[in-house]
Structure formats: C-alpha cells, structure tokens
Amino acid sequence: MRRGRAGAWLVLVVVFVYYLVPMIAMTRFAFQRIPVIKLSFGNLFDKWTIAPLIETFKEPEFRSSASLSVQLAIATAALTLILLVPTMAVAHLRSKRMRRMIELSSTLPFVVPAIALVVGFAGAFRETLPMFIRSPFGLVPLYVITALPFTHRALENGLAALDLRTLVDASQSLGATWYRTVVFVIVPNIRASIATAAFLALTVVLGEFTIASLLLKNTLPLYLSYSQGQNPQGSFAVGLVLILISTIFVASSNRLGKVVRS
Amino acid sequence: MTGKVAFSNVSKSFGAVKALVEFSLSIDEGELLTLLGPSGCGKSTALRVAAGFETPDSGDVSIGGTSILSLPANKRGIGMVFQNYSLFPHLTVTQNLEFGMRVRNISRDKRSARVGELLELVRLSGLSDRYPHQISGGQQQRVALARALAVEPRVLLLDEPLSSLDATVRIEVREEIRRIQRASGIATIFVTHDQEEALAISDRICVMSIGRIEQVGAPDVVYRSPATEFVARFVGKVNDIEIEVLSSTKARLHGHSQEIEIASAGKNAGLGAARLLIRPEDVQIVRPDSARPNVRGTVKTINFGGATTTADVEISGTGHLVRVADSTRNMRYRVGDSVHIAFDTERALLARGGA
C-alpha cells in the first residue's frame, strides 16, 4: 500500500517536472532581457520585464488576431450552448437512444482528424455557400464540433445529476411552456455545467491551430506561430498568457464541477 | 372551480405492455379517490394521462364534462405532487410557491398574499426563505402540495407523494394531505401501492391490477367485501384455506371431517374443490363447547402487534395454517396451546380451484 502510494507520488513528480521545466524555460526566455545562451541559475532573478508582452499587445496584427479569436471563442461557446442544452435535455427526457447517439457523436472529433473535417467542410460549402468559407465565422461550427467531446461531457454530467423528468413535469403542471421550463427551470439548475462547457469551449478555441491554418484564418494561435521568427520573446510571452488563461478556465470548470457535485 | 373528473374507456400501451385497458372511472367534486395496486398495474399511467404527460391510445378524460385530451399539460389546470421531490432546487420555498402564479402573471401583491395563506395552510410559515435542501423530506412534500394548490387547480393529482418519507413522517404528512384536501374541496386522485395508506386517506378506493379496475368502493367495503380474489389478497391479510363445497351453505375443510357454514361466500360457488379467502379477524378462537361449528388446532406462533395480536393455528390432522387476529387483551394463548377455531364466513370470499 505504502509502496503503491510512493510510486504514485513519483509518477506525479516526474510529470510535474516534465511540464514545469519547459514552462520555466519559456517564462525566463519571454520575460528576462538576457540572451538565451547566457541564461543560468546565477541570473535567475535578473532583468525581469513585461516589455515583450506590452510591445506585442501594441502590434495591430496581434490585436486583430486576438480580437478574432476572442470573438470566435464567444460565438463557439454561445452556439454550443444554444444547440446542446435543449437537444440534450430533450434526449434525457424522451429517448435513451437519442442520448446514446449524441454521446457517440460527441466522441467523433477524437477519431476524425481536423484535416478530414476541413476538407469535407470546404468541399461541401465552397460551391454552395462560399461566403461561409470566406468569413472567419465559418470556423465556429467546426470549433463547436471540435469542442464537443468536452462540452458534451460537462452538460451530460449536469443533466444526469438532476431528476429532469420530475422537474419538467412539475414545471408544466404549474402551467409553464417548454421555453419557460428550459429557461427558468433547466438552465438555472445546470448553470455550473453550462459555465464549465463554455469555459472548455473558450479554451479549445483559443488554442486551436490546425483548422484555422488550413482555412487560412488569422487567429491568435496562427499569429503566435508566424510571429515566432520576428518577435520570439513576444510570441512566447503571449503564449504563456494564453496558457495561464486556459489554466484559469479549466480550474474554474473543476471548481464549478465540485459545486455541482456538492 | 373544480369539477367531476371522468376517465372513459381509456387504454394505453407501452409496446406490448398494456398499462391501461378500457379504464373507466369518475371522481366527484371534493372527493379523494385512491388508485391502489402493485407496481406496474397502471395507476401512475392513469394519473399521467390525466395530467397530460401521456397520450392515451383510445378513450377520453374529461373535467366538468369537457374533454381535456386536446389540451397540453400546461393548459389543463391540474395540480400535481410527485413521488420524487419535485421542488425546484434553485428557488426558495416562496419562489417555488410563486412559480405557477408568475406563469399566470398574477400581481406581486396577490402572489404574496396567496403564499402567506398557503404557508399557513401547510404550517410552514417560518420556512419561506429556505431552499429545498434546507428543509426535511416531509416539509418538501408539504411545500410541493402547497405549490400545486397555489394555482387553484381544478383537480389535484398525488403520485405516491409519501413513498420517499419514513414511516412516522409518512403518517403525519398523510393526515396533513387529508386535512388540506378537505379544506380545499378539490377533486383529488391519490396513487399508492400501500393499502394501509389507501384505507386511511380515501373517500373511495379503486383497486387496480394489470391495467384493469378490480373494485371501486369505500375503504371499509373494499376491505370487508372484496369483489375479487386479487382485492382480497392485496388489501389486507387473508387466509387461503382449501375446502370442499358440499352445498350452497356447507363446506368441509380439505382433509378434515368438520363441516363449516359458508352462507354468503358460497352463494355463487359450485360444488367441489374451492378455496376460502377469509380475513384473520373473521376467524375466532372459541370454547370447545361453542355452539358454532369449530375445529381443533395448535397455536404455532404468536405475533404481537401492539393493540392487535395474531396467532397462527395449525388445524389438527390437516396441516392447514390459519391466521387468527384479535385484540391483544383477548389473545391470551401461548405457542403449543390446543385451541378451537370457528370461521365467520359472512364476508369471506370463495375462489375456485384448490385440491
């Protein structure tokens, strides 16, 4: 028992070091005004600055790509919730089969590569809806699909924790319409799951590279990738900020999950 | 305004399972009728059809003479209390009570006044700001009842509202429901599988089995004069004794020479093997020299039940075990005592079959 626990701790420490060492290296590279070949333990606390971040924030290309990514993230989170909450609620109430189908569909992004998704998407809409391909917001449905494994799970947990059938029947017996039942009964009772799904959708969009790259949309991850040659310190600094934001989102999701369970 | 509720030839199937078969029943204004039966007998389905949560395959449901089948659940004006706790967890007691009134756009002043009345009715005035998880199960069901009454429904449906409560609270809430139902005068359908609950709370009981009505009647009638073998067995305890019918008034215990009278029970019985279904309290321990026909037996077990005690008596020479119930005051026997028992078959039921 004790040996097992020690083994678990060892694995945890190895994983922690595996992630932490590059993070520390990245942080020092981004925020210390010291040439990379001269970085050592001796100058660990010297010449720290946030200037690379501020300089990057001032760049118009950064601003436009960051703004686009934020808009896409919000649109993705909104579309995900508008589509998934009523659909999953109906599936929970009326059809176990539909519930299983949604669950199965939600895992497809794990097995369908992004390139296949983009090729299919572009092939289908290039002739029929070219505006859809040209507009950066054409990315939103693809991002909804990409984030589905995470967003579906978050909402599924929230709905499964409720006695949805009884709450909906009670609401309707009191005279509420389906719309009122969704807005005033179901949504408030899964608000933590909704927030978790939204955070996860935001996190996925802020880090997504392949789809945006293949469809030639200048999102933040693409900006970071392209600007590494010209402004390596700045792009690493912004990358770190993104990691921090994502970590906060994921931590918030976990915290909300605990609130739901309690 | 309330109204008479009527089910007319309602049938409902779920795949191959027939939940309701030609179900016809009416509930008068102010009446509390209980649908009683084992799990899967269709009692909750009947309730859900009335509430609008299930659509019947055929038949009609009306309130005050008007069919309600074409109306969606939220337009039927029916209040419902559920088996599971159904209060909205994110709303306080007051907000739960106000929910239906908000849907109907009732003014804030009227809502507040009504909430006050309802809280007083269910005796929970001090809990208005609590959330459901901050009150007990019994209190939650009382709030659920008040919430159902808040919208002044034409009919009240109670779907096993006591089944999640423990025994003591269950009796308390049961009495509370009866008091409130009488005060409100609303036609009420109460669903339960607990015969004791049904006998205690109802004006009338409708005993159901496999989607069909077995008997409808006042609690004492259903208990004392069961119409079918199923009712006799399901409502209360019953002795099932193999007999041989000799005539319309006489029978003999199977394997025993003693004849007993079966005056009422034997009215429609043919001759030959049959089974006598008789309540334990209709079997009495008598003196050996009693004028009534009696048989000798031995007390095998004594079951103390507070005010009433039962004894299982094995009839000599047959191995038949007959349960006898009497007041604890009269039941002064011990295991192994030799006794004589007589059968009061006035309210007993005769079933075909047996040895």
How far is the alpha carbon of A153 from chain B, nearest alpha carbon, in Å?
Answer: 22
3-state secondary structure of B334: coil
The partner residue sitting opposite B99, judged by closest CB among A163, A169, A174, is: A174
Are B85 and A188 a contacting pair at CB < 8 A?
Answer: no
Residues of B in contact with A179 (CB under 8 A): none
The mean pLDDT of A229-235, rounded to a whole number, is 84
Point out which residues pair with B243 in neighbouring strands. B253, B274
Are B90 and A173 a contacting pair at CB < 8 A?
Answer: no
Could you tell me the pLDDT band of residue B312, with boundaries at 50, 70 and 90? very high
**Structural domains of chain A sorted by starting position, each given as residue range(s) with its CATH number in brackets:** 1-49 (no CATH), 52-261 (1.10.3720.10)
The region of weakest confidence among A16-20, A87-91, A130-134, A147-151 is A130-134
Which of B82, B96, B111 is the mutation pick for testing A, counting most A CBs within 10 A?
B82
The answer to whether residues B158 and B189 touch, using CB atoms and an 8 Å cutoff, is yes
Q: Cβ of A28: how many Cβ atoms within 10 Å?
A: 17
How far is the alpha carbon of B78 from chain A, nearest alpha carbon, in Å?
Answer: 6
Alpha helices (runs of H) in A32-95, residue ranges in sequence order: 51-58, 60-94
Could you tell me the pLDDT band of residue B2, with boundaries at 50, 70 and 90? low
The CA distance from A44 to B66, in Å, is 85
Give contacts of A 141-170 with B, CB under 8 A.
163, 166-167, 169-170
- pLDDT tens, residue by residue, B265-275: 555 667 888 88
Task: Report the share of chain A in percent with pLDDT over 90.
Answer: 47
- Comparing alpha-carbon positions, the chain B residue that sits nearest to A177 is B74
Give contacts of B 145-174 with A, CB under 8 A.
147-148, 150-151, 157
Are A166 and B86 a contacting pair at CB < 8 A?
Answer: yes
Q: Please indicate if any CB of chain B lies within 8 Å of the CB of A106.
A: no
Burial (Cβ within 10 Å: 0-12, 13-18, ≥19) of residue A163? middle
Task: Report the share of chain B in percent with pLDDT over 70.
Answer: 96
- pLDDT tens, residue by residue, B51-70: 999 999 999 999 988 999 99
ipTM of the complex: 0.81
- Comparing alpha-carbon positions, the chain A residue that sits nearest to B157 is A173
Work out the angle at residue A235's Cα, subtended by the Cα atoms of residues A231 and A236, and round it to the nearest 5 degrees: 120
The answer to whether residues B325 and B302 touch, using CB atoms and an 8 Å cutoff, is no
Q: Please indicate if any CB of chain A lies within 8 Å of the CB of B86.
A: yes
The partner residue sitting opposite A180, judged by closest CB among B52, B89, B103, is: B103
More confident call, A124 vs A262: A124
3-state secondary structure of B228: coil
Residue A72 above 90 pLDDT?
A: yes
Residues of B in contact with A188 (CB under 8 A): 88, 90
pLDDT, residue B295, reads 84
Could you tell me the pLDDT band of residue B158, with boundaries at 50, 70 and 90? very high
- Comparing alpha-carbon positions, the chain A residue that sits nearest to B82 is A166
Residue A215 above 90 pLDDT?
A: no
More confident call, A104 vs B294: A104
pLDDT, residue B73, reads 92
The mean pLDDT of B234-260, rounded to a whole number, is 84
- Comparing alpha-carbon positions, the chain B residue that sits nearest to A166 is B86
- pLDDT tens, residue by residue, B102-120: 999 999 999 999 999 999 8
The answer to whether residues A77 and A60 touch, using CB atoms and an 8 Å cutoff, is no
The partner residue sitting opposite B89, judged by closest CB among A169, A184, A189, is: A189
The mean pLDDT of B239-267, rounded to a whole number, is 79
Q: Please indicate if any CB of chain B lies within 8 Å of the CB of A95.
A: no
Tell me the backbone φ, ψ of residue B68, rounded to 5 degrees: -110, 5
Q: How far is CA B106 from the centre of its chain?
A: 37
Are A176 and B74 a contacting pair at CB < 8 A?
Answer: yes
pLDDT, residue B212, reads 95
Q: Encoding tokens for residue A202?
A: 């935001």
Could you tell me the pLDDT band of residue A262, with boundaries at 50, 70 and 90? low
The mean pLDDT of A202-218, rounded to a whole number, is 90
Residue A51: closest CA among A33, A66, A26 = A33
Please report, as a single letter, which amino acid is at residue B78.
I
Complete DSSP assignment for B234-259: HSS--EEEEEEE-SSSEEEETT---E
The mean pLDDT of A174-179, rounded to a whole number, is 93
Which residues of B229-348 form beta strands (DSSP E)?
Answer: 239-245, 250-253, 259-261, 272-278, 283-286, 295-305, 308-315, 321-327, 338-343
Residue A255 above 80 pLDDT?
A: no
Residue listed under structure tokens 């590569």: A113
The answer to whether residues B146 and B118 touch, using CB atoms and an 8 Å cutoff, is yes
Are A172 and B73 a contacting pair at CB < 8 A?
Answer: yes
The partner residue sitting opposite B73, judged by closest CB among A163, A173, A188, is: A173
List C-alpha distances in Å: B42 to B11, B12, B296: 10, 9, 44
The CA distance from B307 to B151, in Å, is 43
Are A169 and B82 a contacting pair at CB < 8 A?
Answer: yes
- pLDDT tens, residue by residue, B124-133: 888 999 999 9
Residue B227 above 50 pLDDT?
A: yes
List C-alpha distances in Å: B117 to A114, B61, B124, B146: 61, 31, 10, 9
Could you tell me the pLDDT band of residue B1, with boundaries at 50, 70 and 90? very low
The CA distance from B220 to A190, in Å, is 48
Residues of B in contact with A185 (CB under 8 A): 88
Q: Cβ of A97: how many Cβ atoms within 10 Å?
A: 9
- pLDDT tens, residue by residue, A8-64: 999 999 999 998 898 898 899 989 888 888 888 888 888 889 888 888 888 899 899
Q: Please indicate if any CB of chain A lies within 8 Å of the CB of B353.
A: no
What predicted TM-score, i.e. pTM, was given to this entire model?
0.79
Are B78 and A173 a contacting pair at CB < 8 A?
Answer: yes
Residues of B in contact with A176 (CB under 8 A): 74, 99-100, 103
Residue B355 above 50 pLDDT?
A: no
Contacts of range A211-217, beta carbons closer than 8 Å, 24 or more positions apart: A211/A114, A211/A117, A211/A118, A211/A139, A211/A142, A211/A143, A211/A146, A212/A139, A214/A114, A214/A115, A214/A118, A215/A118, A215/A122, A215/A133, A215/A138, A215/A139, A217/A68, A217/A136, A217/A139
- pLDDT tens, residue by residue, B326-345: 888 888 888 988 888 988 88
Q: How many CB pairs under 8 A join A and B?
A: 67
Task: Report the share of chain B in percent with pLDDT over 90.
Answer: 52
Residue A3 above 80 pLDDT?
A: no
- Comparing alpha-carbon positions, the chain B residue that sits nearest to A188 is B90
Residues of A in contact with B137 (CB under 8 A): none
Residue listed under structure tokens 């809990």: B127
Q: Please indicate if any CB of chain A lies within 8 Å of the CB of B51.
A: yes
Are A169 and B80 a contacting pair at CB < 8 A?
Answer: yes
The mean pLDDT of B213-230, rounded to a whole number, is 92
